[in-house]
Chain A
Amino acid sequence: MKPVPPALAALERALAGPEEPWLRERLDLDPVAARAALPVAFPALARRAGRAGLAGRAEHAGVRVDLAAWRRCDAVGTLLLHAADPVDDATLVDLFLRGDLEERTILLRAATVRPLCAATSRFLDEIQRTNVGAHLEAACLDSNLLVRALDGGLLARDRFDRLVLKAAFNDLPLARMDDVRARPGTELTRMLLDLATEREAAGRPVWRDTLRLAAGAPVAGTIARVLGALEHGDATTRLAGAEALVTLGRRDLVAYAAERLPREPRPDVRASLERAVALS
């Protein structure tokens, strides 16, 4: 079996189990044979390797992944691709487009730890075009793939913004989108605030992280929303508002935090308000 980078050693632990001989047989193939076997191996992965969860983190060469979100089949799929490397973009795209929902999820998880390539870009286009929650989660959460793709030039800013907006539309948590909070943008803020307005008009819940991300690149209307959130009846909205106030970092707004602080019952919200007051 081709050695894997030390940072991905945790994936090898996923091999243990009754199907280990079948898996090892494929991992031991030379790269040419391993590549040829991919179209038939991938459909069987979830069935053979199973969906039991992993644990731990993987970090290497600018890649950061929370393996707690991974299943055994994701790890085995990633190792199969590694054994078959170099796998060209056409092969990866063929695996994705001819794969079922599970195979696509495995490929997306693998993409979060593999080098960026044209196939990664196509995968992200596909999850933008379709509307599969599991695929959005696999690509956008629990890794820094989106930010890596933005910083690496694979995703233009507008594509990055639309992917984050789609994640927000599907109510995925910002806290699991590694580093996205550190890449705010005014156009993204405008789209998020527009979405919030639409949701409010329809009486539907607003993405809970709207203000956290909007505060990093405020546009007209952002401040009013943040201040309004401080008095919201829902504590998670107040917490987002208080955190956004800290992110905004404006001394002229400190008075609003100070005014709310004595009346705020929730310790976590109070802690954020105190940080905002400390800006003065």
Chain B
Amino acid sequence: MKIFEPHIHMFSRVTDDYERLALADVRVVLEPAFWLGQPRTTVGAFVDYFDTLVGWERFRASQFGIHHVCTMALNPREANDDRVNADVLAVLPRYLEKDGVVGVGEIGLDDQTPTEEKFFLAQVDLAKAHGLPILIHTPHRNKRRGFERIIDLLRDAKFPWGHVLLDHGNEETIALTRDLGCVSGFSIYPNTKMDVHRMVAVVREYGVDRIVVNSAADWGISDPLMIPKLVQALLRAGFPDATVEQLVWKNPIAFFAQSGRLDVAALDRPPTASRRETHDGNTILRGQDPERS
């Protein structure tokens, strides 16, 4: 079952993860720009991170036969930090035009402060200006209230719901989002957030229309193979192949293809990268023979 993983922070993962993802038929990974586990103190740290997302990480994925795309944003956690927030917003327009960028994200709310709202709305405007869909991080604390506030802000901004992915949802929030016309995202974690069994129950109740699932694997305890594991659970539960394929392949493609920057036909095949190629003069080979690695 081919898989488009629509939320995974490969920046934080090792090469073994890329190998395991490729073996599990994950053909595309989407890496949203987020925080790095601790606050950054200068805009330069963001710029270097953004350059990595459109550069080295894309190359690294290609070396394992996986397409890498990303979304760019000032994340809501660091939106509260006046040392960097305005300067990051200023550099975003050029990064939103880079190859491989298919959306604005993760934006949204975390602590749900007025400053977060200000930078959230500024980035909603950027998404409109650049014709990109938005990937929204919803709060881990006071989640339902956060969902409601985000929905109110987007309604006031008249942002098209078809271009909105409200991520990190659960059984409590899905009822809020079904009638909006947006895409609902669910992050499957080993111990927290949604788990595989709860997600199977959500699919049983709500179907797969306008739903995407992801591992949100990052620097913490998380599992990049959560979506392949969910696929197996859904098939064992009796869902048809076509239903599962829509959930883990067609839905995320349909959403991010709205950027106009996804070559959908090309996603079916591995990227053509050779291990003889370099990125900025660098390889992943560490001296190994490219024909034997």
Contact = CB atoms under 8 A, between A and B. Distances in A.
Interface of A: 39-44, 46-47, 98, 100-102, 130-133
A149 B191 CA distance: 62
Contacts, number: 37
Contacts of B261: 47
- B interface, how many residues as a size bin? 10 to 19
A46 B281 contact: no
Interface of A is mostly: helix
A132 B281 contact: yes
Given A98-B47, A100-B54, A100-B55, A44 B280 contact: no
Given A46-B99, A132-B280, A101 B55 contact: yes
Nearest to B101: A43
B278 interface: yes
B95 interface: yes
Given A47-B261, A100-B51, A133 B278 contact: yes
Given A39-B93, A132-B281, 19 more contacts: A39-B94, A40-B93, A43-B97, A43-B98, A43-B99, A44-B97, A47-B99, A98-B94, A100-B55, A100-B98, A100-B99, A101-B280, A102-B99, A130-B280, A131-B278, A131-B280, A131-B281, A132-B278, A132-B280
B197 interface: no
B279 interface: yes
B6 to A, nearest CB: 21
A27 B73 CA distance: 29
Given A100-B54, A100-B55, A101-B55, A43 B95 contact: yes
A130 B281 contact: yes
A82 B97 CA distance: 21
A116 B278 CA distance: 29
Nearest to A38: B94
30 contacts: A39-B93, A39-B94, A40-B93, A40-B94, A40-B97, A41-B97, A43-B94, A43-B97, A43-B98, A43-B99, A44-B97, A46-B99, A47-B99, A98-B47, A98-B91, A98-B94, A100-B51, A100-B55, A100-B98, A101-B55, A101-B279, A101-B280, A102-B99, A130-B280, A131-B278, A131-B280, A131-B281, A132-B278, A132-B280, A133-B278
